[in-house]
């Protein structure tokens, strides 16, 4: 697998080879440094940092860290996940719709949104939905925080969720779906399993609900993990239609732990 560790190893081998080559070349030409040498170093470093940076936005490649983006097995099952909640009023309305269709979903909650939302979180849990960790702050700088701070955020959110539901989440969804070396270091040797998605609905960006719906349905396949948001207008206005359309296509909507065959909660 093409991982950051292997990529870094290859980078250093090339760097070392280039250094050796330059030493041999400069010795044979009496200390002369070839014109293209700085350019080659520049190109090498740009490629290394450019590729490492770009891969942080492609978590499903498992480049920086193992991330689950798809269910296991061939059954026609999919999971629906809601990020960035709980939202006052809106999350409750989502729960009502899910209850109507007897669908169990997964909510990746932000720790600092939980104060005052304890009843809705408790209801979510009591009605059989899963709760995952989506950081405490969801800061736009989250991915640039040191691993220690990232880990502290996750622990804090876990504790709040545990205080309300009695259970500590094992699924973590990285804010913005970014997994870089800092996030990876924070997750190493911990209990959290990073879980992203393979259907990004773009429900917070795309204004045309028909396009969102078509995109989700077009990409639907056994094991799909669909990303929606508690606060998006699409979610509230079209969740009914979406649930019916998925069912019409012969898919069963299951909780994430059932789809990826891993436990959702730990000690
Ligand atoms: Zn988010």
182-194 pLDDT, tens per residue? Answer: 999 999 989 999 9
Residue 61 lies in a domain: no
d(CA 151, CA 156): 9
Residue 50 lies in a domain: yes
Residues 212 and 101 placed together within one structural domain of the fold: yes
* DSSP at 31: S
Residue 136 lies in a domain: yes
First to last CA, the chain: 32
Q: Which residue among the candidates 83, 158, 230, 257 is catalytic per the annotation?
A: 83
Range from 5-9, 70-74, 113-117, 163-167 carrying the lowest mean pLDDT: 70-74
- The mean pLDDT value for 71-85 works out to 93
What is the CA(240)–ligand 1 centre distance, in A?
A: 22
For 174, other C-beta atoms within 10 Å of its C-beta total: 27
Longest dimension (CA), the chain: 81
Q: Give the pairing type, strands 225-229 and 199-200.
A: parallel
> What pLDDT sits at residue 38?
82
Indicate whether 31 pLDDT > 70: no
Residues 25 and 142 placed together within one structural domain of the fold: no
- The mean pLDDT value for 142-169 works out to 97
Residues 14 and 77 placed together within one structural domain of the fold: no
pLDDT over 70, % of the chain? 97
pLDDT over 90, % of the chain? 85
Indicate whether 35 pLDDT > 70: no
Q: Which residue among the candidates 229, 230, 238, 257 is catalytic per the annotation?
A: 229
Residues 41 and 156 placed together within one structural domain of the fold: no
Residue 184 lies in a domain: yes
d(CA 92, CA 79): 19
Assign 257 to helix, strand or coil: helix
Residues 83 and 50 placed together within one structural domain of the fold: no
Range from 26-30, 42-46, 213-217 carrying the lowest mean pLDDT: 26-30
Domain limit, last residue, from 14, 32, 55 = 55
- The mean pLDDT value for 203-209 works out to 90
Confidence (pTM) = 0.91
Residue 37 lies in a domain: yes
d(CA 64, CA 79): 24
- The mean pLDDT value for 27-53 works out to 83
Confidence of residue 8 (pLDDT cuts 50, 70, 90): very high
Residue 60 lies in a domain: no
Residues 120 and 222 placed together within one structural domain of the fold: yes
Residue 62 lies in a domain: no
Residues 132 and 226 placed together within one structural domain of the fold: yes
What is the CA(204)–ligand 1 centre distance, in A?
A: 11
Residue 234 lies in a domain: yes
| 128 against 75, higher pLDDT | 128
* DSSP at 35: T
Residues 50 and 72 placed together within one structural domain of the fold: no
Is 126 annotated as catalytic? no
Residues 148 and 201 placed together within one structural domain of the fold: yes
* Domain extent at residue 127: 68-266
What average pLDDT is seen over the chain?
94
CATH number of the CATH domain containing 87: 3.20.20.370
Is 138 annotated as catalytic? no
> What pLDDT sits at residue 72?
83
Residues 77 and 196 placed together within one structural domain of the fold: yes
Residues 137 and 210 placed together within one structural domain of the fold: yes
Indicate whether 132 pLDDT > 70: yes
Residues 160 and 227 placed together within one structural domain of the fold: yes
- Per the structure, how many domains does the chain have? 2
């Amino acid at each position: 697998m093409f991982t950051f560790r292997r990529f870094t190893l290859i980078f250093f081998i090339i760097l070392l080879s280039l250094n050796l080559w330059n030493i041999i070349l400069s010795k044979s030409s009496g200390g002369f440094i070839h014109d293209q040498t700085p350019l080659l170093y520049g190109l090498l470093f740009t490629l290394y940092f450019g590729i490492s940076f770009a891969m942080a936005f492609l978590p499903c490649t498992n480049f920086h860290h193992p991330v689950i983006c798809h269910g296991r097995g061939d059954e026609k099952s999919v999971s629906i996940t809601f990020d960035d909640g709980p939202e006052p009023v809106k999350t409750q309305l989502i729960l009502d719709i899910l209850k109507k269709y007897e669908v169990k979903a997964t909510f990746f909650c932000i720790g600092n949104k939980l104060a005052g939302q304890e009843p809705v979180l408790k209801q979510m849990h009591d009605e059989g939905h899963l709760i995952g960790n989506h950081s405490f702050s969801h800061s736009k700088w989250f991915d640039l925080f040191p691993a220690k701070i990232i880990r502290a955020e996750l622990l804090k959110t876990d504790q709040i969720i545990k205080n309300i539901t009695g259970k500590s989440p094992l699924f973590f969804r990285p804010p913005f779906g970014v997994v870089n070396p800092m996030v990876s270091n924070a997750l190493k040797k911990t209990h959290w399993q990073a879980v992203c998605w393979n259907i990004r609905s773009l429900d917070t960006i795309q204004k045309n609900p028909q396009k969102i719906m078509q995109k989700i349905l077009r990409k639907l396949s056994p094991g799909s993990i669909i990303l929606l948001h508690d606060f998006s207008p699409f979610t509230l206005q079209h969740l009914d239609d979406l649930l019916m359309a998925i069912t019409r296509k012969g898919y069963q909507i299951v909780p994430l732990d059932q789809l990826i065959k891993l436990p959702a909660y730990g000690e």
